[in-house]
């Protein structure tokens, strides 16, 4: 299978969120917090929480079905499924379950882990497979259920996160509508945001044979350091991407940042001198949905008729790793 074009176009989007809503008021029943604190520090009013039988697979599948319909292709047309997630239903990978649910019989499917940068890293990965001529139709999903891993006794982090999924179809195209990208990682700051595995060593059946077994422990975060990192690195990486795309900030029609905190979104937009009416935000309704946040905001804006074909969109993800990145593309074919 070889495609004849070496450009890419993003041709459809979809999204799905759980049914259950957790408001700031609800959170005051479990930790010492208030609607006023959460609203002024983060802009978040509520978030959606996945309850069984909802799963990462079911949310990712629902978002994907919408994206396929919007792009006007069927599951059988997909060559590659990339599932950006840090919260799989199965640590061996969840993408194949989504492939099965969709009936994407031709597709190869795998998970990609880059926390809240996952969607941007996934977009660039998908583009490489298409630009090298290997695949023609890629389904990229960003989905996370961080409520599974939140420390519900830590008021500094439990108020921030929510669950959801977003998906896009990326297709081979004559002209390249991915205008530029930059990806970054800095493991020296890894300790600021973790969802760590911890194990203890034990002897098996009183023999001298030892194994280490344990479990993953809830999210730990140094909020101030992550905040500082985001407001410095995100404008930098968008600036660099504008430069490589031969564009200026005023050429951007829509800025869609990882939806972590309204104050971070405002600070980045201000530093880039991008006016508020070009900034897409839905953090108030969903909180930080990690890899899902950018495609969820993108899909909402497309369905609201804000984003039109040929609009220039800048996206930027940032988070654990630490990792961050930006991509600039023209919407549609």
Q: Which residues bind ligand ACO (CB under 6 A)?
A: 33, 37-38, 41-42, 115-116, 155-156, 159, 193, 221, 223-224, 226-227, 260-261, 288, 290, 319-320
CB of 45 to ligand ACO, least distance (A): 14
The residue at minimum Cβ distance from ligand ACO is: 319
Give yes or no for a contact between 150 and 120, defined as CB atoms under 8 angstroms apart.
no
Residue appearing with tokens 């070889």: 2
Nearest one of 223, 224, 229 to 160, comparing CA atoms: 223
Distance between CA atoms of 274 and 294, rounded to whole angstroms?
18
Give yes or no for a contact between 130 and 113, defined as CB atoms under 8 angstroms apart.
no
CB of 78 to ligand ACO, least distance (A): 27
Residue placing its CB nearer to ligand ACO in the complex, 5 or 227: 227
Q: Which of 24, 137, 285, 288 is catalytic?
A: 288
CB of 46 to ligand ACO, least distance (A): 14
CB of 115 to ligand ACO, least distance (A): 4
Is 258 known to be catalytic?
yes
Q: Which residues contact 154 (CB under 8 A, 6 or more apart)?
A: 31, 218, 219, 220
Residue appearing with tokens 């040929």: 310
Whole-number CA gyration radius for the chain: 20
Is 309 known to be catalytic?
no
Residue placing its CB nearer to ligand ACO in the complex, 135 or 161: 161
End-to-end CA distance of the chain: 22
Nearest one of 134, 116, 152, 170 to 3, comparing CA atoms: 134
Residue placing its CB nearer to ligand ACO in the complex, 50 or 221: 221
Instruction: Say whether 19 sits in a helix, a strand or coil.
Output: coil
Residue placing its CB nearer to ligand ACO in the complex, 12 or 287: 287
**Count of other CB atoms within 10 angstroms of residue 43:** 19
CB of 31 to ligand ACO, least distance (A): 6
Q: Which of 3, 24, 96, 116 is catalytic?
A: 116
Residue placing its CB nearer to ligand ACO in the complex, 28 or 65: 28
Residue appearing with tokens 């600036």: 239
**Which two three-digit tokens encode residue 67?**
């994206």
Is 288 known to be catalytic?
yes
Distances (CA, A) of 101 to 55, 184, 267, 296: 12, 33, 40, 20
Tell me which residues are annotated as active site.
116, 258, 288
């Amino acid at each position: 299978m070889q495609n004849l074009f070496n450009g890419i176009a993003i041709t459809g989007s979809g999204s799905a969120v759980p049914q259950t809503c957790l408001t700031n008021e609800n959170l005051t029943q479990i930790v010492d917090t208030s609607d006023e604190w959460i609203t002024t520090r983060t802009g978040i009013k509520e978030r959606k929480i996945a309850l069984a039988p909802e799963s990462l697979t079911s949310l990712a599948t629902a978002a994907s079905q919408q994206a396929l319909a919007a792009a006007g292709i069927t599951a059988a047309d997909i060559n590659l499924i990339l599932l950006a997630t840090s919260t799989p239903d199965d640590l061996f990978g969840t993408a194949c379950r989504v492939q099965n649910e969709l009936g994407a019989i031709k597709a190869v499917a795998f998970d990609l882990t880059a926390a809240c940068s996952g969607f941007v890293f996934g977009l660039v990965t998908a583009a490489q497979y298409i630009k090298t001529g290997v695949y023609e139709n890629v389904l990229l999903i960003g989905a996370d259920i961080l409520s599974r891993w939140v420390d519900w006794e830590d008021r500094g982090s439990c108020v921030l996160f929510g669950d959801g999924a977003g998906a896009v179809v990326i297709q081979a195209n004559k002209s390249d509508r991915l205008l530029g990208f930059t990806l970054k990682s800095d493991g020296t700051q890894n300790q600021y945001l973790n969802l760590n595995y911890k194990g203890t060593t034990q002897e098996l059946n009183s023999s001298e044979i030892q194994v280490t077994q344990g479990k993953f422990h809830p999210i730990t975060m140094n909020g101030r350091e992550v905040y500082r990192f985001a407001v410095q690195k995100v404008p930098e990486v968008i600036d660099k991407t504008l430069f490589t795309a031969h564009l200026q900030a005023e050429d951007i029609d829509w800025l869609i940042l990882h939806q972590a905190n309204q104050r971070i979104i405002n600070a980045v937009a201000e530093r880039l001198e991008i006016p508020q009416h070009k900034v897409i935000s839905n953090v108030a309704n969903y909180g930080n949905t990690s890899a899902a946040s950018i495609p969820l905001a993108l899909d909402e804006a497309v369905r609201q008729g804000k984003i039109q074909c040929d609009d220039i969109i800048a996206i930027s993800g940032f988070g654990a790793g630490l990792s961050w990145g930006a991509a600039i593309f023209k919407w549609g074919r």
